[in-house]
Amino acid sequence: MATLYLIEQNSVLRKTSDRLTLCKRPEHARKSPGVRIEDILLELPCEDVDQVMLFGNVQVTTQALHQLLEHGIELAIFTFTGKLLGQLTPPKTKNIHLRIAQFRKYDDLAFALKLSQTIVKAKINNGLAIVRKHQANHPQLFTDAELTQLEGLMQRADKAAALDELRGYEGAATAAYFKLFSRMLNPPWQFQTRTRRPPKDPVNAVLSFGYVIVGAQLQSLLDGIGFDPYLGFYHAIEYGRPSLALDLLEEFRHSLVDRLALNLFNLNIVSESDFYRPPDGGVYLNTAGKQKFFKHFEQMVGEFHSAASAADKPTAFRALFQKQVQSLANAVQKDLLYQSFEMKLK
């Protein structure tokens, strides 16, 4: 099953028998209202698609919407810059018992703290794993003291007595990590600090876009299993924010999105021509940039990873998304220990 990314502007997603067809009128036809010729850009059987992500000016016919709903395919709609506007979710049998358990656990402060500690420790661990892997080839970039600082913050997170204290350790670890991340980028690319809304440089543009994409996929999985994606345990409730999806996203920020960004820039896969700067500020991936992003994103989410435990079998990221959602469901409903995803430290 695949995620279909629709980024070709002025295109139309149509239904053709039991298939989804992406069409676009050629330039000469768009200038001639009487001409109805369309080029077929992509055609896929519905059974091969489990999610559609639409960016910017892409139309969907009513017939195609019916097809998506009938086949249980979720449609996520984004602005061209990557802001999630909303999702069309097929009417599935909702696990009301899971949702009731989720709301009950929300009031269990001990559960929320323990779960949040597990997630934050995994996030810091994954950042450390990336730095250490880079250090193997570039030992001069980092000092032992800098790595020790991250290790210390991970240990302090494990002993945090409250969520606010834990958030303080996580914030300090994130700031320390991004200082090291900036050194892993090859010139001419530069990264001074994390900026968003809007991202102010190409590196932040890729990071922000990647976090949104992974977060939306996690949100879809959470919703599909019966969770309320807006009721998180670590991230506070905020109107319109999928806090539970952001909880799970923490484990994949460094391990997936940041690694992808390093590959895109350090291997010269993207260039300045893959970004645009609108008059109102910010830097964003353009259509060509998004095409490169999704090509390499799909390769990376299909890549197999070893987890921290030697007993664990290598698992692809796409399967890990589902595994983490199910582990969270087991923790909420069955009081089982939540099993975080931690990259192997070398």
Matching fold, domains 2-88 and 96-334:
no
Residue linked to tokens 């008059």 = 279
- If you ran DSSP here, which 8-state letter would residue 185 be given? S
Q: What is the pLDDT of residue 309?
A: 42
Return the bridge partners of 74, or none.
51
* pLDDT one-digit tens code per residue, 130-171: 999 998 888 888 888 999 999 999 999 999 999 999 999 999
Measured distance CA(135)–CA(65) in Å, rounded: 49
Token pair of 97, please? 């018992």
Q: What is the pLDDT of residue 7?
A: 85
* CATH homologous superfamily, domain 2-88: CRISPR-associated endonuclease Cas1, N-terminal domain (3.100.10.20)
Token pair of 216, please? 């939306």
- For residues 168-197, average pLDDT: 93
* pLDDT one-digit tens code per residue, 68-96: 888 888 888 988 888 888 888 776 656 78
Burial class (CB in 10 A: 0-12, 13-18, 19+), 114: middle
Measured distance CA(172)–CA(155) in Å, rounded: 13
The domain made up of 96-334 has a fold known as Four Helix Bundle (Hemerythrin (Met), subunit A) (1.20.120)
Spell out the domain ranges in the chain.
Answer: 2-88, 96-334
Measured distance CA(93)–CA(213) in Å, rounded: 25
